[in-house]
Structure 1
Amino acid sequence: MVDALHIGDALLHRTVIDSAPDGILLVNRSGTILGANRAMERLSGHAPDQLIGQSVGIFLPPHLRERHTTLVDTFFVQPSTRPMGMVGQLQLLRRDGGAVPIDIALGHCEADGQPLAAVFIRDMTEVSRLQSQMHYQATHDTLTGLVNRWMFGQHMQQALMQSIRQGRPLGLLLLDLDYFKAINDTHGHAVGDLVLVEVARRLKGTLRAGDLLGRLGGDEFAVLLPELMAPDDAATVADKVLRALALPCSVQGCSVDLGVSIGIACCPRDATDADTLLRYADMAMYTAKDGGRGSYASYAAHMGHRFEESLRLHDRLKLALQHDALALHYQPQVDVATGRVVGLEALLRWFDDELGTVPPDRFIPVAVNTGLILPLGEWVMKTACRQIAQWAADGLRVRVSVNLSAQQFRQRDLAERLQRCMATYGTPPELLELEVTESEAVADPEVAQQVLTWMGSLGVGVALDDFGTGYSSLSYLHQLPVTRLKIDREFIQNITSNADDATLVRAIIVLAHTLGLPVVAEGVETEAQLRFLRQHGCEAYQGWLFARALPADEVRALVWPPADGQPGTLRLA
């Protein structure tokens, strides 16, 4: 058997290896430790000389040691290197009985004819803490601490399946504060935020332990009532909520009248899927508002007025597509350090002869629900590719980002469609960037990696949009072939006043740079926000501080013709 001290002197190069921040072990094919560096003592509590001669299974709980012995045997049958980040949920058992989250890389070598495994062990405590913090930020409303829309939807899907399986009714309450805009306008947003916190506190006090309360955004809350005895019990809870919010409220010396309109829908009585149940609760809530506010209404089949509006929007949008009556506007993305325009984001705009200007948050949901989102996305892609080619022919070479809807992203022939589109208009692929939301990208990492790799092979950039709003495992993010991260405007809005948002934005920037990715911050509206981003190394930003989204002809007029082939600087004079 090779002498352990000889192995340590010959292969570990003690002076250098002991200065490494990661733990390093040298293990033979029987799983015996032949060498360890000083970092292993910090990780495990065992001194290096105490580890020599021990089984590597000392770092594992007893119930995992037998399986690990099999894995060691397998490694030595076909030795291969393995980088960090290939496995998750690893923990190292310390001498004091505690556990440390770790990541492991493997290498192999020989000494005196004996095959050996070099094990590199990294302490992931800080990364795990960051992941937990990001997970909380991404799944909870930072103001009230309630679950956010995304997480509420996840719980709702599970609760619906359980309700159907067990045959127990489930209730959904959708709540919208009455005259909340007036509170903000009269007393200011700071008071408005405190009112929302007070509302959340009162709502929690009216609910059972098993009920779920979420803030969906703005002044809209939702309550999930699983395992009701009867559907009418949801109305009893709604009545309790109304009474709780009718009590006097004083915030920072301001007397505020609280009130709420509540819509109720139940499973399986009204619907058995989440989208329909939410839609019906929404219809009922607007019925309560129309009835004078400060009340609740349960869904009934005659509540179809909002559906009629959606139908009208669908018909007008379909005509707009057929007659090319839509437009793309372009919002500049600006280098934080130099003030130069480094890109543009293409944003869809619609003016209708009957409806007037229709904002995207009004017509995009209709497009998604009616299937128009795919032809709408196709129109956006073709229009952007054509515009990029026209600008390039005029000497204006600037990167343009185009948002992909979830439905587009799932198209099997997306890469072929994109390639045909660029070929039709002669679009330089390096000037096109596609934006995919974080939640969609991590929903199925394998498919996402395949699709994004196809895009990359075409020479097209890929930005991960709305980063921070969905929970990405760091290992997933590392595997996805993206070229840029975009921080959602939700976190930029309060970075100068909300410590949690500031911490998260700093962490995202550090994470992106660790992965070698540049960052674009969305929704920058103040000089203070820009100073924060500059201070923490964010590469680029977009928002009203610099410019709103502009029609194509205004972009052409406001960007200086570049003499060096690089994107120009936007001239706001």
Structure 2
Amino acid sequence: MAGVAKIVSLVRSLFEKAIKKAIPAETVNRKDRISLKRLFQTLPDGVVLLDPNEKVVDVNDAFLGIFRFSRKDLLGKKLDEMILPPDRVDEGLAINRRILEDKKVELEGTRLRGDGEIIKVMIFGCPIEVDRKLVGFYGIYRDVTKQAEVEAKVRRLAFRDELCDLPNRVSFVREGRFRVKRGEPFSILYIDLDRFKNVNDTLGHAIGDELLRCVADRISRALDPSSMVSRLGGDEFGVMIYSDDYCDAYSVGKSILDCMDGPFKLSERAHISIGASVGISVYPDHGITWEDLFGHADIAMYEAKKSGRKIVFFDDVMGVSFRERIGMERRLADSLARESGLSLAYQPKVDMSSGEVLGFEALCRWKDGEEDRSPELFIPAAEETGLIVDLGRWVMEKACRRGALWLKEGLRVPLAVNISAKQVQQDDFVLMVDRILEETGFPPELLELELTESTLMKDLDRSCSMLESLKELGVSLAIDDFGTGYSSLAYMARFDVDILKIDRSFMPGKEAPPLNEAIVKSVVALADARGLRVIAEGVETEEQRDLLLRIGCVSAQGFLYSRPVPEEAVADLFSRGFGSLQPSLR
């Protein structure tokens, strides 16, 4: 108790002289009386004097204010009977015994006010002795109720997740480390919600927060109370069960997935359905340190999400694969920073009726040391790490600079570049495109930006505004992989685009699903009605080419015509075309 120790000796000295039954009143000089009175009046803490029978002799005004009694209520009464419930009166006797044994006591506890409210107080008690004879006690009381509430809130915020009212990551880690230190068996289930970002992007963070609270409630209700359920952050939850039995861990994982079945009814929206992926690690099989165990559960969760298996136990092969991926991501970041190992390849877009090359799509390639990395590996990695923003900027700038050089050589080569969702989310995206065009001198009418349906559908109003701004720059806009997103054809009327690119999965042919041809016909009809061009992706056979031409789709790109080529081959290919692959006239 700050400040108490400094006045204890003075209080004791004065009180020993002030106990009227212990010494004659006239021996207490005027100076001591004034000092004692002033101390009583000015001390902010409550002070009480007790006789040897623990009855109240005197109290100061601060004590009366803390405990909401009048002086008349207390004088001559046993203090413990006034400020302790009947079933706790013996606590006071125990404290006084400690005072006699130790000469002073400092403690924190709860006491009863005169109005019936329970408060938290700090108590400092000492005996009063004259000539080694006990003549009473005194106590100093400080009301710390508000302070205790603040401290409890701080502790709660430090170890609880306020949104979901669950133990937070700090609590989860602390409990896990404790179990590892004790060598006690347990298992970790690392849970990540599927497609939660779509909820935040389309419905807003308030709805996302409400969904997280509902998920937390369902998981908590579904599991045994002995399990520790924690929110680790974002849309990730952790469960700790005190068993190293694989069957137990799998059963808990299954319960988690089962409880996610059925839509979540939120206050202001239609029902939302959402799934989860669960990664499991078991102590000590999957790690003898907490860091390894927690990290391995995280790796297993990503494997569950990637493979679609929903529940996955960690294994060593998985760990090696994950470490290789982390290494690849670091090397990609280094290559981008040094502009080393990155290059562009160009795949032609062709008029299938004439074989004329209409333009090229610029595709990023990466040589990782001596190994050519597949875009199917490093592009998703760049998306996850956020590197795609800088990588996309590099691709656009590189393509535009190369296109400007071809222009100086007398070739007007239209170029298309892919735009990722993360690029579109940047507030300065349109300004970036404008700056690149200005700095490179590449004509905007020769630049085509390809965006996916899902990218545009995340925020319809923002997408429409962005597309309008891009059109004002003079660039062409294409919806890439059309048909694979979750939009309807009706939404396409809102997007001011120039081109629809039909995804390769819809290519018609003898081996293709019968519905593919009908889908392509619908897209071509939609494009014709809106005056849009259609480009078919992934055309690999003459049969596909002929079917597409009969349907009315004239433009295509695919291995039938050419794989992506280095920039050195573009000029010749653009001039020469693919006249030899014209369909036979019938």
**Alignment TM-score, normalising by the size of structure 1:** 0.50
Q: What does residue 219 of structure 2 align with?
A: 168
Compute the displacement of 1:558 (Å): 2.5
Q: What does residue 474 of structure 1 align with?
A: 489
Q: 1:392 aligns with which of 385, 397, 407?
A: 407
- What residue ranges of structure 1 are gaps of 5+ in the alignment? 1-150, 172-226, 240-262, 271-275, 290-295, 562-567
Task: Name the aligned partner's letter for residue 550 of structure 2.
Answer: Q
Q: What does residue 363 of structure 2 align with?
A: 347
Judging changes above 3 Å, is the alpha-carbon distance between structure 1 residues 153 and 505 closer, same or farther for their aligned structure 2 residues? farther
Corresponding position: 1:485 with 2:536: no
Give matches, 1:21-170, under 5 Å: 153=195, 161=212, 164-168=215-219
Compute the displacement of 1:368 (Å): 1.5
Q: What does residue 14 of structure 2 align with?
A: none
SS in 2 for 1:547: coil
CA contact (8 A) 1:493 1:524 kept: no
Q: What does residue 331 of structure 1 align with?
A: 347
Q: Distance in 2 between matches of 1:538 and 1:277?
A: 49
User: In angstroms, what is the RMSD of aligned CA positions?
Assistant: 4.0
Corresponding position: 1:280 with 2:300: yes
CA contact (8 A) 2:400 2:436 kept: yes
Q: What does residue 325 of structure 2 align with?
A: 310
Corresponding position: 1:528 with 2:543: yes
Q: What does residue 448 of structure 1 align with?
A: 463
Q: Deviations over 1:10-38 (max 9, x none)?
A: xxxxxxxxxxxxxxxxxxxxxxxxxxxxx
Judging changes above 3 Å, is the alpha-carbon distance between structure 1 residues 318 and 570 closer, same or farther for their aligned structure 2 residues? farther
Compute the displacement of 1:570 (Å): 7.6
Q: What does residue 554 of structure 1 align with?
A: 569
Q: 2:439 aligns with which of 424, 432, 440?
A: 424
Compute the displacement of 1:393 (Å): 1.3
Judging changes above 3 Å, is the alpha-carbon distance between structure 1 residues 504 and 154 closer, same or farther for their aligned structure 2 residues? farther
CA contact (8 A) 1:284 1:299 kept: no
**Alignment TM-score, normalising by the size of structure 2:** 0.49
Q: Distance in 2 between matches of 1:156 and 1:444?
A: 10
Compute the displacement of 1:515 (Å): 1.5
Judging changes above 3 Å, is the alpha-carbon distance between structure 1 residues 489 and 311 closer, same or farther for their aligned structure 2 residues? same
Compute the displacement of 1:297 (Å): 4.6
SS in 2 for 1:545: coil
Q: Distance in 2 between matches of 1:286 and 1:535?
A: 39
Percent identity (aligned): 38
Once the two structures are overlaid, the 10-residue window that deviates more, 515-524 or 497-506, is 497-506
Q: What does residue 372 of structure 1 align with?
A: 387
Q: Distance in 1 between matches of 2:297 and 2:503?
A: 28
CA contact (8 A) 2:303 2:312 kept: no
Query: 1 or 2 for the larger relative contact order (CA 8 Å, sep ≥6)?
Result: 1
Corresponding position: 1:499 with 2:514: yes
Q: What does residue 265 of structure 1 align with?
A: 279
CA contact (8 A) 1:519 1:538 kept: yes
Q: Distance in 1 between matches of 2:428 and 2:198?
A: 32
Q: What does residue 425 of structure 2 align with?
A: 410
Judging changes above 3 Å, is the alpha-carbon distance between structure 1 residues 313 and 169 closer, same or farther for their aligned structure 2 residues? farther
SS in 2 for 1:343: strand
CA contact (8 A) 2:280 2:312 kept: no
Corresponding position: 1:360 with 2:380: no
Corresponding position: 1:382 with 2:397: yes
CA contact (8 A) 1:329 1:549 kept: yes
SS in 2 for 1:168: helix
Q: Distance in 2 between matches of 1:409 and 1:169?
A: 38
- What residue ranges of structure 2 are gaps of 5+ in the alignment? 1-192, 200-207, 223-238, 255-276, 282-289, 291-295, 582-586
Task: Name the aligned partner's letter for residue 219 of structure 2.
Answer: R
Judging changes above 3 Å, is the alpha-carbon distance between structure 1 residues 306 and 534 closer, same or farther for their aligned structure 2 residues? same
SS in 2 for 1:307: helix
SS in 2 for 1:479: coil
Compute the displacement of 1:300 (Å): 8.3
SS in 1 for 2:516: helix
Compute the displacement of 1:332 (Å): 0.4
Q: Distance in 1 between matches of 2:424 and 2:525?
A: 28
Q: Deviations over 1:355-396 (max 9, x none)?
A: x01001111122122221111111101101101111111111
Q: What does residue 97 of structure 2 align with?
A: none
Q: Distance in 2 between matches of 1:539 and 1:556?
A: 23
CA contact (8 A) 2:386 2:422 kept: no
CA contact (8 A) 2:449 2:475 kept: yes
Aligned residue pairs, count: 324
Larger gyration radius, structure 1 or structure 2: 2
Compute the displacement of 1:399 (Å): 1.2
Task: Name the aligned partner's letter for residue 396 of structure 2.
Answer: M
Task: Name the aligned partner's letter for residue 337 of structure 2.
Answer: Q
SS in 2 for 1:398: coil
